[in-house]
Amino acid sequence: MANTGHRIVIVGGGSAGITVAARLRRKGQQDVAVIEPAATHYYQPLWTLVGGGRAPIEATARPESTVMPKGVTWIRQAAVGVDPEARTVALDDGSTVEYDKLVMCPGIQLDWEKITGLRQTLGRDGVSSNYLYELAPATWRFIRELRSGTAVFTMPSGPIKCAGAPQKIAYLAADYWREQGVLDKIDIHLVLPTPGMFGVKVFADVLEQTARRYGITVHFQSEAVAVNADAREVTLADNVAGTTSTLGYDLMHMVPPQSAPDWVKKTPLADPANAAGYVEVDKHTLRHVRYPDVFALGDAGSTPNSKTAAAVRKQAPVLVANLLDAVAGRPPSASYNGYASCPLTLSRHTLLLAEFDYSMQATPSIPFIDTTKERRDMGYFKRYGLPALYWHAMLRGLA
């Protein structure tokens, strides 16, 4: 069973899909379809502030229908496969959609089951994660309720969306406990799979100072591999020594390992050299390296940048320009430099705006402001400025 084909088909109606669709419509493309089953669109970068008690969860969600660009065909099914030879996308109702050009941005998969015992305890007994809409408010509840004990904040190895989020919630919580006068009664542990606090030294230096300020014990090159909810213990693997240890907790914020959606991994579009299965594209042109009619951006792409909404904002115009070049039979004319931005909340009122590219050098984009320093004005920018930019400009193809 086949649906009518479309000139350009976009898989995914999240940040990347809606932004690309809006830009294509503004460029005069008449036949654009977006495959997206969800009825709700989320602004996920704000979930950290929800977990830290600085924003209401309701502010992060809007009906998908309100962000879908006018004139776009919305196919309200889930994609389950792609045949790049036949140029078709398989849907979960058994039908297929034909395409001339395909844009892959189905998002990222949260692999909760890769941490033994985690899924069963999420949302109760002090264990939460800001990576789910339903759980971010629970994070704030657990933080408010903790007056003494041990708090553990973990980050998995491998690419994840918003790699700064596992640290951000630790600092928001620590600053709240400082305000409440109980910080000295709470033993805070931050578990990182990396050898340092951040991949760019100027930002890593600030984060080291922040961890020291709150008295946080940092476990480098380590990650959580199992949770024993009955004993309230988490098992940590030391990825250098090859050993494991256990740590008791009263509160724990967990971030699961992440990968491309399972169905994407099974398609010929997946990078065969990477078990995470991301769509294999040229990191500058965002065009598939083996299938020239396919492009990808956002969390599901193989580009080695940080997976953030800010990266999508810079990728979208490049992808649209190169896709339209392909439609016209021209070689790609635009190039993505790997720009990503990670607004790191260092307290309940201050923020470090970490901007960088493939060179892993700081690449500040705001004139006359030193964004390599912790700033209060950037805290307001994250809470109010960035959501406004997202809803009213980025998703409309204007920024």
Please name the fold of domain 116-257: FAD/NAD(P)-binding domain (3.50.50)
Instruction: Give the contacts of 36 (CB within 8 A, at least 6 positions apart).
Output: 12, 13, 14, 17, 64, 74, 75, 76
Q: How confident is the model at residue 263 (pLDDT cuts 50, 70, 90)?
A: very high
- Asked if residue 317 lies in contact with residue 335, where contact means CB atoms within 8 angstroms, the answer is no
* Torsion on CA atoms 284, 289, 294, 298, rounded to nearest 10: -40
The two three-digit tokens of residue 348, written as one number: 């309940």
- Is pLDDT at 368 greater than 80 in this prediction? no
Tens-place pLDDT, residues 192-250: 999 999 999 999 999 999 999 999 999 999 999 999 999 999 999 999 999 999 999 99
Sign of CA dihedral 24, 25, 30, 35: positive
Whether 116-257 and 6-108+260-337+391-396 are alike in CATH topology: the answer is yes
Domain at 6-108+260-337+391-396, CATH class = alpha beta
Tell me how far apart the alpha carbons of residues 316 and 354 are, in angstroms, rounded to a whole number. Answer: 20
Domain ranges in the chain?
6-108+260-337+391-396, 116-257
Asked if residue 295 lies in contact with residue 104, where contact means CB atoms within 8 angstroms, the answer is: yes
Q: What is the Rg, in whole angstroms, of the alpha carbon atoms belonging to the chain?
A: 21
Q: Dihedrals φ, ψ of 279, to 5°?
A: -65, 125
More confident residue, 30 or 2: 30
Q: Which residue has the tokens 């070049």?
A: 325
Percent of the chain with pLDDT over 70: 99
Residues forming beta bridges with residue 362, ordered by sequence position: 356
Provide the whole-model pTM: 0.95
Of the candidates 45, 347, 46, 377, which has an alpha carbon nearest to the alpha carbon of residue 206? 347
Phi, psi at residue 135, to the nearest 5°? -100, -20
Beta bridge mates, 79: 91
Pick the catalytic residue from 103, 162, 186, 264: 162
Q: Collapsing DSSP states into helix, strand and coil, what is residue 234?
A: strand
- Given the residues 68, 270, 326, 342, select the one marked as catalytic: 342
Rounded Cα–Cα distance for residues 233 and 214 (Å) = 23
- Measured in degrees and rounded to the nearest 5, phi and psi for residue 258 equal -135, 155
d(CA 23, CA 34): 13
Residue type, 175: D
For range 318-330, the mean pLDDT? 97
Residue positions counted in the chain: 399
pLDDT in tens, 97-151: 999 999 999 999 999 999 999 999 999 999 999 999 999 999 999 999 999 999 9
Q: Is 162 a catalytic residue?
A: yes
Q: Cα–Cα distance between 371 and 298 in angstroms, integer?
A: 24
pLDDT the model gives residue 190: 98
Residue 2: pLDDT over 60: no
Whether 89 and 64 have beta carbons less than 8 Å apart is answered as no
pLDDT of residue 3: 60
Span 269-283, mean pLDDT? 96
